[in-house]
Amino acid sequence: MMQLVIIGVYLVLLLGLGLFSHRLFQGTSRDYLLASHSIGPVLLLMSLFGTTMTAFALVGSTGEAYTQGVGVYGMLASSSGIIHSLCFFLVGIKLWSLGRRYGYTTQVEYFRDRLGCDHFGLLLFPILVGLVIPYVLIGVNASGTVINSVTEGTFATAFAAYDYGVPNWLGSLVICAVVLVYVFYGGMRGTAWANTFQTAVFMILGIVTFFVIADKLGGLQAASHAVLEKHPSKLMREVAPEDYAAYRRALAAWEELAEYNWAVDHQGFQLTTAQRDDAHGSDPARDPGWQLRAEAAYAAREGLVQLTPAQRQQARLAQDDRLPPADGRLFEADDRPLPLEHFDRSETWGSKALALFADKIGNPSQPLDPADPSAGKKWTRKRALGVYRATHWAPEEPLPMSRWRFFTYMLVPFSVAMFPHLFQHWLTARSANAFKLSVVAYPIFIMIVWAPCILVGVWATSATLHGQTLIPPHFPANAVLAKMVSDLSTNVLAGLLTAGILAAIMSSLDSQFLCLGTMFTTDIVVHYGGKDRFSDRQKLLLARMFIVAIVAVTYVLSLAESRRVFQMGVWCFSGFSSLFPLVVAALYWRRLTVAGAYAGVLSAAALWGVLFYLSDFALHAEYEVLGIMPVALLMGSSALALVIVSLLTRPPDPERLARFFPPSGAG
């Protein structure tokens, strides 16, 4: 309940800030959408940083470090420190200058004017909106998940299906409503103020959480030394021989379990009572499912289970909840068993898991056995699913980080150059000099947020509490931070950190909602309706109405499909990165033609569609082409098509070019 109160107080504070910023509102559409170009260096830095750092900066970075180790910092954070500032320096300042000079509010306005082609907007608009929407959905879904996770057990009888916590749909609804209120009233100024406040909140709370967790793990050195002893692979980007040996042992034990279970289910195999007693006595482990594992090990040791290769493969599929193939094919051409990932996982595994642990599931604030307090609390549904995965599914193979993947991942941060919501934030700057602080401080800010989260994620791989492993195998990576905080800190700190995570989410959502509303108003209604047809007051009203509609639509979309949106993140960023050659050429290359711009965008869009299809619509999370990230191909094809077609077509009109490349040397 304490956490719910802290979240509630935080949201009220935020609403207050939004309403306060409304008092500074000048009443014009330019003030509402661009804060009258009045934002200074500090507010610009904080609002830009808050906008680009989503929940992924806290929750995702911890989860990725837990899965892949410390190399994640280099892959995602230090590369962003270089590239984001580069984009602000090369693209942001120039676009700000042109936007101020010619009165742009959106990217589509700029490209229409720069290329002298109205129809180009019709191509770019749906692409930009289509890439922003999944990005927004990630935030909306994440907010519901976070609130539900930290409020488990809050209600005595209500919301059993949500572990007696605030339902995800309700949490998302509240967050959308709060963001809507302060964006609706405060516009860009309210968004900038709210982002500044929220950025400060999640940076400070992240650092506090880091030191509290370190202290609980015995200090910084003890926490890292535990990883060095148990999972040295997490401290580098290769797989340590001892980690691989541990995996081989775990896999062998799991295969014994799979074959034993299959023999029991399909061949009527049974150990005698004496054999079972013998098996249980020889295994000291007492984790969930220990009896079965002990019996399986005993049966294997004594050679009691004999299966054919096909039966063995079927046993592995059944144990891992994989569906048997429709064509009956279980082996490669050279008779090696097909890898488990080749087979789809059954969608019924969840209900199977919940049925298996039905007697343990309940309100996590109540004791499992009132007569035996040592049995602990009742299990949440999430915990039951986690225990099922850890005790049933095959162990995860430790994999080294690919050098090409590491290298080409550096292209993903180029996406910021084409984020529509960043474009709008850039235009709020009071002067070009206001960008200086952002350009310089960005890499350090990223380090302050990411480095502690990376260490916490790595520590989680080896952390123990009262002699028990804190994070079981197959634990959902995005829940690692919440688990570490809830188990290693107080309710108050957990509530505050949740507020920090929500701050990171909302500081992106507000800008995205505002920019989508701006784009629909400016690029569609006002552009096609006629600039003189609407008064400034009407434009303001239109923008607000569109923002309300967009919040409503994205909220409804978030209810419909949540399974794939997290995996969509990198694909959205890759899509934006593929438009980087377009914006750089528009700003710095006089020879860019309309046909070249079309070719660049269409080639990127077509290739994006093909690769997205081949990645099984983002379900294949580690999808690569020839060992490199798809973004490298997308950017390459876009740049190549843009340059070749531009050179093959008639140069642009010199008069138009003179507006964008003045002789003073600004270009």
Partner 1 sequence: MIGRIVVCILVLALVALHQDAWNWNRTNLYLGFLPVTLAYHMGISVAASATWYLATKVAWPEHLDREVPRQEGQPR
Q: Which amino acid is at 192?
A: A
In the complex with partner 1, the residue whose CB is nearer, 339 or 662, is: 662
Among the listed residues 81, 116, 167, 289, the single contact to partner 1 using CB under 8 A: 81
CB of 623 within 8 A of CB of 590? no
In the complex with partner 1, the residue whose CB is nearer, 235 or 541, is: 235
Among the listed residues 45, 446, 463, 485, the single contact to partner 1 using CB under 8 A: 446
> What minimum distance in Å lies between the beta carbon of 123 and partner 1?
29
Rounded Cα gap, residues 29 and 187, in angstroms: 9
Mask for 512-551, x = binds partner 1 (CB under 8 A): ----------------------------------------
CB of 637 within 8 A of CB of 581? no
Among the listed residues 19, 24, 89, 278, the single contact to partner 1 using CB under 8 A: 89
In the complex with partner 1, the residue whose CB is nearer, 71 or 569, is: 71
CB of 374 within 8 A of CB of 364? no
> What minimum distance in Å lies between the beta carbon of 57 and partner 1?
14
Written as six digits, the tokens of 40 are 């200074």
Mask for 9-48, x = binds partner 1 (CB under 8 A): ---------------------------xxx----------
| H helix runs in 369-479, sequence order | 381-392, 403-408, 420-427, 435-460
Among the listed residues 29, 85, 518, 637, the single contact to partner 1 using CB under 8 A: 85
> What minimum distance in Å lies between the beta carbon of 342 and partner 1?
29
SS3 192: helix
221 lines the binding site for partner 1 (CB under 8 A): yes
Which residues sit opposite 519 in a β-bridge?
Answer: none
101 lines the binding site for partner 1 (CB under 8 A): yes
Which residues sit opposite 465 in a β-bridge?
Answer: 468
Going by the DSSP 8-state scheme, the letter that residue 470 receives in this structure is: S
Residue range at the interface with partner 1 (CB under 8 A); choices 1-9, 87-95, 116-124, 474-482: 87-95
Among the listed residues 25, 32, 66, 96, the single contact to partner 1 using CB under 8 A: 96
Considering only residues 222 through 261, tell me which ones interact with partner 1, judged by CB under 8 A.
223-225, 228, 232, 235-238, 240
In the complex with partner 1, the residue whose CB is nearer, 231 or 392, is: 231
Q: How open is the CA angle 8-450-195, to the nearest 5 degrees?
A: 45
In the complex with partner 1, the residue whose CB is nearer, 221 or 282, is: 221
In the complex with partner 1, the residue whose CB is nearer, 197 or 244, is: 244
Buried b (16+ CB within 10 A) or exposed e, 121-152: bebbbebbbebbbbbbbbbbbbbbbbbbbbbb
Rounded Cα gap, residues 578 and 576, in angstroms: 5
If you compute the radius of gyration of the chain from its CA atoms, what whole number of angstroms results? 27
Give long-range contacts, CB 8 A cutoff, 24+ apart: 12-18.
13/197, 14/178, 14/182, 14/194, 14/197, 14/198, 14/506, 15/178, 15/181, 15/182, 17/182, 17/190, 17/193, 17/194, 17/197, 18/181, 18/182, 18/183, 18/185, 18/186, 18/190, 18/193, 18/194
666 lines the binding site for partner 1 (CB under 8 A): yes
> What minimum distance in Å lies between the beta carbon of 575 and partner 1?
23
Q: How many residues bind partner 1 (CB under 8 A)?
A: 60
SS3 527: helix
140 lines the binding site for partner 1 (CB under 8 A): no
> What minimum distance in Å lies between the beta carbon of 409 and partner 1?
10
CB of 506 within 8 A of CB of 179? yes
Rounded Cα gap, residues 113 and 442, in angstroms: 31
Indicate the angle between helix axes 41-52 and 491-519, nearest 10 degrees.
Answer: 100
Among the listed residues 79, 195, 489, 512, the single contact to partner 1 using CB under 8 A: 79
> What minimum distance in Å lies between the beta carbon of 572 and partner 1?
23
Among the listed residues 439, 611, 625, 628, the single contact to partner 1 using CB under 8 A: 439
In the complex with partner 1, the residue whose CB is nearer, 92 or 139, is: 92
Residue range at the interface with partner 1 (CB under 8 A); choices 88-96, 178-186, 342-350, 481-489: 88-96
In the complex with partner 1, the residue whose CB is nearer, 99 or 630, is: 99
> What minimum distance in Å lies between the beta carbon of 323 and partner 1?
38
> What minimum distance in Å lies between the beta carbon of 664 and partner 1?
6
431 lines the binding site for partner 1 (CB under 8 A): yes
Q: Which amino acid is at 426?
A: W
Paired sense of beta strands 464-465 and 468-469, if any: antiparallel
Considering only residues 392 through 421, tell me which ones interact with partner 1, judged by CB under 8 A.
400-401, 403, 406-407, 410
From 501, 540, 447, 617, select the one nearest 30 (Cα to Cα). Answer: 540
Written as six digits, the tokens of 192 are 């900038």
Among the listed residues 3, 87, 92, 94, the single contact to partner 1 using CB under 8 A: 94
Task: Report the phi/psi class of residue 159: left, alpha or beta, with left for phi > 0 and alpha for psi in -120 to 50.
Answer: left
> What minimum distance in Å lies between the beta carbon of 216 and partner 1?
15
Among the listed residues 86, 300, 557, 625, the single contact to partner 1 using CB under 8 A: 86
> What minimum distance in Å lies between the beta carbon of 430 and partner 1?
7
442 lines the binding site for partner 1 (CB under 8 A): yes
Enumerate binding residues for partner 1 (CB under 8 A). Answer: 36-38, 70-71, 73-74, 77-79, 81-82, 85-86, 89, 93-94, 96-97, 100-101, 220-221, 223-225, 228, 232, 235-238, 240, 400-401, 403, 406-407, 410, 430-433, 436, 439-444, 446-447, 451, 454-455, 458, 662, 664-666
